[in-house]
Amino acid sequence: MATSSDPAKPRSPLGLIFLTILIDMIGFGIVIPVLPVYAEGSRFGATPTQLSILVGIYSLLQLVFSPILGHLSDRIGRKPVLTVSILGTAIGFFVTGSANAYWMLLLGRIIDGISGGNIATGMACIADVTTKENRSKSMGLIGAAFGVGFMIGPALGGVLGKISPALPFFVAGGLALVNCALVAMNLPETLTPEAQERARHRASIGEVFSHGRSGLIFAILASQLASVTGFSIMTSLFALFCEKRFGYDIAHTGWILFYVGFLGVLMQGGVLRRLLKRPIEKQLAVIGAGVLAISMYFLPSTPPSLGMLLLVCAGISVGNSFVTPTLNGLASRSSDAHTQGRVLGLLASAGSLGRFVGPMIGFQLLRFDSNENYARTSFYASAAILVLALVCITMVSPGAATAPTPDAIPET
Amino acid sequence: MKPVGRFSSFAILLVIFFFICVALWFALFFYRVI
């Protein structure tokens, strides 16, 4: 645990940061199976458009506010920013949980989105307290926290949601409060004068796109935008799809998402690590996007058997595990140490934009299908967008960039 | 289906909000926050 009985001895904040991100991801994951079902139910009766905004607004606000909070943490320190943003997350969950009208649900998601700088600030903390040599390994911790949180969260959300529809939000809010207290009491300030100095000398736009890298960076960003858009059509509609097509309740859906998360952890932690000993990121990303597109094409016509659904979900999980880390790796290899932070920031922005655009497309296309083939058009659109991602990835040629760096971790 | 008239003003607001966010993002990028 992160608590220490010996206050005189400075502790490494890595354990606490790991816990922070884990709790944050569990909180985020708890909501996934519950939110659309909760909002669509008789209590709120949200229309598809209202649902798409409810799911997407968080990412749209994060697109703008995550960098602002990151910037603020370079100035006033990591601890205050992290504490306030986790507190905002808690308030957002409580507002969503106690909502009795659609606008209150939306308000909760807006508060959560505005204060959603937890992960970026946590990563900045890790960059502060690690050396270049061991940073990669420590960032791996973040990946592990992400994976495990995303595995436990939906299962917990499903089980709690069955007891009471609003309960998952209160539990997620409670978790965030505990997290906030832990950070406020135990996290040392990690911002160093060197990190502040580094933040002041960020690469200019000219430098980011120099050395003939612009085409390469745009190809990677387009790949990221398309693959995240395609994937988030699935994540935003999955719970409702399981309910309408298979008659599953949110607990069932939560367990299926647990299985998807578990496979993802296995793939990223075990298989991908071994495969990436050779520089075959592009090939793996192409295969991942292909597998993801095929799985999304078959998802709506899955026969009503759990075995078949799990098979298609395995494709989705494996495909996504191949695309996400490899695009990150390609982006960092395509930039030098000076511009890496900005390129990875752009990649994160493309991801946020995709997580907003995906639900917008997915929910709008619902009108073309009846309940028997619920979300078929949306999932076909997702498959088409993923094919587009595949085409974009094939246009990425890492060899075209000069001065690649073996260090895959951002500077700030 | 819900009434189209009531929904469209909501949609227009959303589109305006989206463009404000995107404009803000570009400003952040050019001022080296991102």
Residue in chain A lying closest to B19 (CA)? A60
User: What count of Cα atoms within 13 Å lies in the side-chain half-sphere of residue A204?
Assistant: 3
pLDDT of A374: 93
Among A26, A21, A82, A28, CA closest to A55 = A28
Q: CB neighbours (10 Å) of residue A304?
A: 9
The answer, for B32 touching chain A at a CB cutoff of 8 Å, is yes
B34 touches A at CB < 8 Å: yes
Q: Residue A410: helix, strand or coil by DSSP?
A: coil
* Inter-chain residue contact A60 with B29, CB threshold 8 Å: no
CB contact under 8 A, B33 and A70: yes
Q: What domains can be seen in chain A, in order of their start residue?
A: 14-187+209-400 (1.20.1250.20)
**E strand or H helix at A38, and its extent?**
helix A14-40
In this prediction, residue A268 carries a pLDDT of: 84
Distances (CA, A) of A268 to A19, A85, A107, A216, A261: 20, 28, 35, 25, 10
The residue assigned the tokens 């050019």 is: B30
Predicted local confidence at residue A382, as pLDDT:
98
Residue of B nearest to A75 (CA): B33
pLDDT at A99: 94
Cα–Cα distance, A353 to A60 (Å, whole number):
6
Chain A CB within 8 Å of residue B19 CB: no
Q: Between the CA atoms of A350, A355, A361 and A363, what dihedral angle is there, to the nearest 10 degrees?
A: -170
Across the interface, whether the CB atoms of A63 and B2 are under 8 A apart is answered no
DSSP, res A299: G
Q: Least CB-CB distance to A67: which of B10, B30, B33? A: B33
In this complex, the residue of B7, B17, B30 whose CB is nearest that of residue A49 is B7
**For residues A65 and A114, is the Cβ–Cβ distance under 8 A?**
yes
* C-beta atoms surrounding A11 within 10 Å: 15
CA torsion angle A221 A225 A227 A232 (round to 10): 150
Residue numbers in A near B1 (CB within 8 A):
367
Do residue B34 and residue A49 have CB atoms under 8 angstroms apart? no
Tell whether B13 lies on the interface with A, counting CB pairs under 8 A.
no
Q: What is the pLDDT of residue A13?
A: 84
Residue A343 contacts residue A221 (beta carbons within 8 Å): no
CA-CA distance, A75 to A69, in Å (whole number)? 10
Alpha-carbon span A80 to A73, nearest angstrom = 8
Cα(A347)–Cα(A349) distance, integer angstroms? 5
Q: What is the pLDDT of residue B31?
A: 83
| Residue B24 in contact with partner chain A when CB distance is under 8 A | yes
Is B3 a residue whose pLDDT tops 90? no
Any B CB within 8 A of A199 CB: no
Q: Whole-model pTM?
A: 0.89
Q: Is A61 on the interface with B (CB under 8 A)?
A: yes
Residue with tokens 């736009």: A205
Contact B33 A205 (CB under 8 A): no
pLDDT along chain A (412 residues), means of 10: 46 83 87 89 89 92 91 91 94 95 94 87 86 75 82 92 92 94 91 83 82 88 97 94 92 93 88 85 94 97 91 95 90 83 90 95 93 93 98 84 42 34
What backbone torsions phi and psi does residue A377 show, to the nearest 5 degrees?
-60, -40
Structure letter (DSSP) for residue A395: T
Are B21 and A205 in contact (CB < 8 Å)? no
SS (H, E, C) A75-114: HHCHHHHHHHHHHHHHHHHHHHHCCCCHHHHHHHHHHHHH
Angle, CA A280 vertex, CA A275 and CA A283 arms, to 5°:
110
What pLDDT is attached to residue A386? Answer: 98
